[in-house]
Amino acid sequence: MSPSPPPRVLIADDQQDVLDALRLLLKGEGYTVETATSPGLVLEAVAAHDLDAVLIDLNYTRDTTSGREGLDLLEKLRGLDPTLPVVVMTAWASVDVAVESMRRGARDFVEKPWDNARLISILATQVELSRALRRGQRLEAENRILRGSGSDRPDRSERMIADSAAMRPVMELVERIAPSEANVLITGEHGTGKSLMARVLHELSPRVDEQLVTVNTGALSETVFESELFGHVRGAFTDAKEERVGRFELAHRGTLFLDEIANVTPAQQAKLLRVVETGELERVGSSRTRRIDVRILSATNADLQEEVDSGRFRQDLLFRLNTVTLHLPPLRDRREDIPLLADRFLARHAERYRKELGGFDAAAMKALLAYPWPGNVRELDHVVERGVLMARGATLLEDDLGLSVAAAASVSPRLEEMTLEEAERVMIQKALERHGGNVTDAARALGLSRSALYRRLEKYDVEV
């Protein structure tokens, strides 16, 4: 993991000699120092910079000794960022002012003239607490995301099986672009392994020791899109009971993977474009601008240029996302990879279901190689899993795979023999097949909103 940047502290005082003295002191201790000479400039600086702590004077107007300006500034800073530690200082110290400043959110109090050792100790403590709090927010956000997906943090991916002639140019391109900072658009039919390719690109990049954060953008409704991607502050809306870190901030210095990017609505595209272009965002309900450093990978099974031509996708956003386009061929065009992929899935599922299996018999492998695989690699994985569950002997047989049934137009039990949930799952799968995995079109055909369909996909563990 790359080292943390030096702590950044803002010093606010209306006397230049005080600013100069504190700047020299703190720079000698390894701090990056910003300065401001008025409450207004303090608020501008806090909005513009990611700060670890703020050291403010309580008086700014000549001949003012009440500390009122600083106390008012404290309340504004707390409203702007309640996690930012503020240490106050004044030459007119009193117990009353100290108590009031702490009540309004100050973390500590320093009297002028200050003691260098005490001042440095206070700031070091507050910086460490601030960073610990932010790490805690990031971990909570990560845990929330993982809990929501029902999965654990994924391990580093296995070597991607790509030995076929169709995959060789793809992997050659991956070797060239993965170490770069270029945004990559990954295209291909549903089930071709776009999420796995995003992981491969991340793991071959200089950002490998940082976070890879994945978000299914197509599943985000208008009401939660900004909150999920950009975060929100407490009280930003009715249910915002606590501050939350968004996916962009969670991926800071790492990689953000935006899956199903073609399903982002025009209003969402405009919000996304601004962050992609500038690297700046504000949490919902906050005016503080935060800078983020992320590499963006995105994926879709749609033709985005066709979406642009039809007016459903912004050309300028596409330009930002597809610095390089990486197209994954369907499994039917890379049949040489099927035996290796099938062996991998067999080993994985045999371990999961605690079965000792030695491989596929000749007829089973012949069936795997002959099948058209409309669901691509994902379908192969599911077919092999079914085979493992059905196998009675030490080898998987053709009948265990059920491909003859699948090849005959996916013959299913009659509708009246199904439960309501089974029937709904089949209807959803068939709609997705008819529309080539396009969630928006499938939802429209089923009479559902896109977000309602995504909820059912998650409920029935149907992948697209």
Residue 444 CB partners (closer than 8 Å, separation 6+): none
Q: Is the pLDDT of residue 458 over 80?
A: no
Report the CATH superfamily, name and number, of domain 415-459: Homeodomain-like (1.10.10.60)
Q: Give the model's confidence band at 25: pLDDT under 50 very low, under 70 low, under 90 confident, else very high.
A: very high
Q: Give the model's confidence band at 435: pLDDT under 50 very low, under 70 low, under 90 confident, else very high.
A: confident
Q: Is the pLDDT of residue 137 over 80?
A: no
| Predicted local confidence at residue 153, as pLDDT | 43
DSSP-derived 3-state class of residue 448: coil
| Residue from 404, 408, 431, 432 nearest 189 by CA | 432
pLDDT in tens, 195-224: 999 999 999 999 998 889 999 987 888 778
Of 60-64, 131-135, 241-245, 316-320, give the lowest mean pLDDT range.
Answer: 60-64
Contact 256, 211 (CB under 8 A): no
Residue 316 per-residue DSSP state: H
| Predicted local confidence at residue 3, as pLDDT | 58
Identify the top-confidence range among 92-106, 146-160, 305-319, 424-438: 305-319
The two structure tokens encoding residue 374: 């409309």
Contact 104, 78 (CB under 8 A): yes
Is it true that 154-329 and 332-407 share their CATH fold?
no
Of 242-256, 291-305, 397-411, give the lowest mean pLDDT range.
Answer: 397-411
Q: pTM surpassing 0.85? A: no
pLDDT in tens, 151-182: 434 444 457 888 899 999 999 999 999 999 99
DSSP-derived 3-state class of residue 230: helix
Please give the share of the chain, as a percent, with pLDDT higher than 90. Answer: 44
Spans of all domains in the chain: 8-131, 154-329, 332-407, 415-459
DSSP-derived 3-state class of residue 47: helix
What fold is seen in the domain 8-131? Rossmann fold (3.40.50)
Residue 354 CB partners (closer than 8 Å, separation 6+): none
| Predicted local confidence at residue 31, as pLDDT | 92
What fold is seen in the domain 332-407? Helicase, Ruva Protein; domain 3 (1.10.8)
pLDDT in tens, 84-123: 899 988 776 566 777 788 888 888 888 888 889 999 999 9
| Residue from 407, 402, 409, 370 nearest 384 by CA | 402
| Predicted local confidence at residue 77, as pLDDT | 86
| Predicted local confidence at residue 62, as pLDDT | 59
CA distance 322 to 183: 6
DSSP-derived 3-state class of residue 128: helix
Contact 198, 445 (CB under 8 A): no
| Predicted local confidence at residue 456, as pLDDT | 83
CA distance 186 to 195: 9
Report the CATH superfamily, name and number, of domain 154-329: P-loop containing nucleotide triphosphate hydrolases (3.40.50.300)
Contact 144, 243 (CB under 8 A): no
